[in-house]
Homo-oligomer: A and B are copies of this chain.
Amino acid sequence: MVTAEKQISATHQEIIDNYLGLLAEYVKIPSVSAHTEDAYLIEAAEFTARRFREIGGTVEILTDNPRPLVFAEFKAATTVVNPKTILFYNHYDVQAAEPLNLWKHDPFTLVQENDKLIGRGVDDDKGNLIARLTALRLYLSDHGNLPVNIKFLVEGEEEVASEHLESYLAKYADKFANDLVVWESGTKTATGKLELIGGNKGVATFNFTAHSADHDLHSSLAAVVDSATWRLAQAIATLRDADGRVAVAGFYDNIVEPTDRELELVDALDDNTELLRKAYGLELPYLTDLSGRDLNRELLFQPALNIEAFHSGYEGDGVKTILPADAIAKFDVRLVPGMDPHDVVGKIHYHLINHGFGDIAVEFTLGEKGYRSDMSDPMIANIIETAKDVYGNDKLAVAPTSAGTGPMDMFHEHLNAPIVAFGIGYPDTLDHAPNENIRKVDYLQGIDYIYEIISSFR
């Protein structure tokens, strides 16, 4: 291990410190993609490009849109026969820092406090990229050349739903070609295990709107006039059966069932039941009565229909006797592989019509498919084996998918390589929130891990 305190060389220490300094400079650039100051995004893109160039990478700044995508390539030594290619996916943009008053320090100044590094982007995603660069630099310093092709795809729109990523992936599929995508970030579990995640769920979001009259009516008319609120509540209630299963015809039809290998991996994960109960104060009937393996299987392999919002009628305190003319509900469905966003929302719309709620308008808003890598793929198997060496055999949480959503399917569709996500976070990293931070020990371990992954191709 290059960074373990006792055996660290002066050369290695200098490189690590140097890159920590670069991380501080990187954090200082407020490259908030939700803001319109594209100058900071371009500054961050150019900073990123310089980091690749200064250690011998071939760099292209792709400017098909105002927030450029930085692509870098480091070739394996010419002596390597049929070298494999790893593509690291990262991003140089960050979430906004607001609310500023909740930060203990200036969010765009990297602060070291005890064993933590604190600042906007220190985990998501500048810290991850700098850790990966540190490992690459260390490896090149030790060996002079690489046993594997390494590519970096660093976008500037990850925090704004990767608006143009798919068009880049489609257009530059040959350039980005690889044998394994390493995802931008990851975390450790509450029990200190490194998560290695091979997929994510998809999502479909949509709105229902009901409109009953030109304006709100006096509620004395309720004896003869139905309201948007009633209609919407009743329509929503038809979407689930008494057991909480989605009652929409065909909803579960095309689901790709988990393989034995996937079930085996998920069944080896920690029991999350108590964690959920305690972290959120959840009780029956709100928390499922499943637990242990069953809960994890449900969480990772089943789709879910969630109501993000339901708003109708009087918003003030006290009583206002109105019969609301309008009601809106917003939904998301977490999709598992096999489910198509438009198909699912279409089935839900058809369900409404079929149940006498054709007056309710359905608007599709966002969608992406779910994806799970083949966790038996040799490239992923190598990643897992290497992690055992670095983190310990019993310190891994390998899952074929997360419960969350991301654009993995988009990568797979265009680049056709397996994907694995891991990174330097821990449960209190606070991505997107004030006081985003990482533990320095995780950062150094992350550098080790990338170093060993590169070494594994020797």
Interface residues of A, Cβ cutoff 8 Å to B: 201, 203, 205, 212-215, 217-234, 236-238, 240, 244, 276, 280-282, 285-288, 290, 295, 298-300, 302-315, 318-325, 327, 330, 332, 334, 356, 359, 365-366, 402-405
A330 to B319, CA, bound (A): 8
A393 to B303, CA, bound (A): 68
Is the pair A233, B231 in contact by a Cβ cutoff of 8 Å? no
Is the pair A324, B307 in contact by a Cβ cutoff of 8 Å? yes
A309 to B95, CA, bound (A): 34
- State how many angstroms separate the Cβ of A432 from the closest Cβ of chain B: 11
| Contact of A233 (CB < 8 Å), options: B213, B218, B236 | B236
A244 to B225, CA, bound (A): 10
Is the pair A309, B304 in contact by a Cβ cutoff of 8 Å? no
- State how many angstroms separate the Cβ of A337 from the closest Cβ of chain B: 15
| Contact of A231 (CB < 8 Å), options: B213, B276, B286 | B286
Is the pair A223, B286 in contact by a Cβ cutoff of 8 Å? no
Please report whether the interface of chain A is mostly helix, strand, loop or mixed according to DSSP.
Answer: mixed
In the bound complex, residues from chain B placing their C-beta under 8 Å from that of A366 are 319
Q: Which residue of B lies closest to A295 (CB)?
A: B224
- State how many angstroms separate the Cβ of A232 from the closest Cβ of chain B: 8
6 residue pairs of the A-B complex, CB under 8 angstroms, read A214-B281, A226-B288, A233-B237, A285-B356, A285-B359, A309-B312
Given A321-B405, A402-B220, CB of A280 within 8 Å of CB of B310: no
A217 to B232, CA, bound (A): 23
Is the pair B222, A306 in contact by a Cβ cutoff of 8 Å? yes
- State how many angstroms separate the Cβ of A69 from the closest Cβ of chain B: 24
| Contact of A404 (CB < 8 Å), options: B218, B276, B300, B320 | B218
A295 to B310, CA, bound (A): 31
Q: Which residue of B lies closest to A244 (CB)?
A: B226
| Contact of A282 (CB < 8 Å), options: B218, B225, B303, B305 | B225
In the bound complex, residues from chain B placing their C-beta under 8 Å from that of A404 are 218, 220
- Residue among A220, A222, A223 with the highest chain B CB neighbour number at 10 A: A223
| Contact of A214 (CB < 8 Å), options: B231, B280, B287, B304 | B280
Across the A-B interface, the 8 shortest Cβ-Cβ residue pairs: A237-B237, A309-B313, A222-B306, A222-B304, A214-B281, A223-B304, A212-B286, A220-B403
A318 to B306, CA, bound (A): 15
Is the pair B233, A220 in contact by a Cβ cutoff of 8 Å? no
Is the pair B319, A312 in contact by a Cβ cutoff of 8 Å? no
- State how many angstroms separate the Cβ of A274 from the closest Cβ of chain B: 13
- State how many angstroms separate the Cβ of A406 from the closest Cβ of chain B: 10
A85 to B66, CA, bound (A): 84
Is the pair B332, A308 in contact by a Cβ cutoff of 8 Å? no
Q: Which residue of B lies closest to A333 (CB)?
A: B222
A290 to B225, CA, bound (A): 10
In the bound complex, residues from chain B placing their C-beta under 8 Å from that of A320 are 308-309, 330
In the bound complex, residues from chain B placing their C-beta under 8 Å from that of A310 are 229, 232-233, 310-313, 327
- State how many angstroms separate the Cβ of A425 from the closest Cβ of chain B: 15
In the bound complex, residues from chain B placing their C-beta under 8 Å from that of A302 are 223
Is the pair B314, A309 in contact by a Cβ cutoff of 8 Å? yes
